[in-house]
Amino acid sequence: MLAVLQRVREARVTIEDRIAGEIGSGMLILLGIEEADDETDVEWLGGKLVKLRIFSDQAGLMNLSLRDVGGSALIVSQFTLHASTKKGNRPSFIRAARPEKAIPLYEMFIEKMKVLLGEAHVATGAFGADMQVSLVNDGPVTIPIDSRNRQ
């Protein structure tokens, strides 16, 4: 499971000119699910993201987590995170999980985040939809995390 997280002041997902999800201060999570992923990836990644200390404390140091600051998470499915550009000029998405595998894991990840942060602090896009994502990146802070490489 790949996540690209961005610390944001605000973020929004629009689908067909309708706001599907939006948050104020918190974390935009672009989530890519691959065929090898399972429930253990959901558990590990969810726990890692809510405890990751990327928010500034009184001294301006990144010492606070999403949970510490009472921030929200906007979760957006993004299979293109698994793009391979090794061969040719057209990306291959062969590593990305098919919808029948990805949708249950995506939904499980959303539920895990709701448990960890509280339902009011989690917003989403829609799996497989054509989405427009807008955000104000705070910092900027952008961090990729791979549940296959748990460092």
6, 55, 78, 109: which is the annotated catalytic residue? 78
Q: Active-site residue 80, yes or no?
A: yes
Q: Active-site residue 55, yes or no?
A: no
Q: Do strands 55-56 and 18-23 pair parallel, antiparallel, or not at all (unpaired)?
A: unpaired
Cα gap 13→136, rounded to integer Å: 12
* Nearest of 28, 31, 30, 25 to residue 64 by alpha carbon: 25
Cα-Cα-Cα-Cα torsion 35, 84, 16, 28, nearest 10 degrees, comes to: 80
Q: Active-site residue 151, yes or no?
A: no
Q: What are phi and psi of 56, to 5 degrees?
A: -75, 140
79, 93, 142, 151: which is the annotated catalytic residue? 79
80, 85, 93, 127: which is the annotated catalytic residue? 80
Which CA distances in Å does 77 have to 57, 104, 120, 136?
Answer: 30, 12, 19, 19
The structure tokens listed for 130 are 């054509």
List, by residue number, the catalytic residues: 78-80
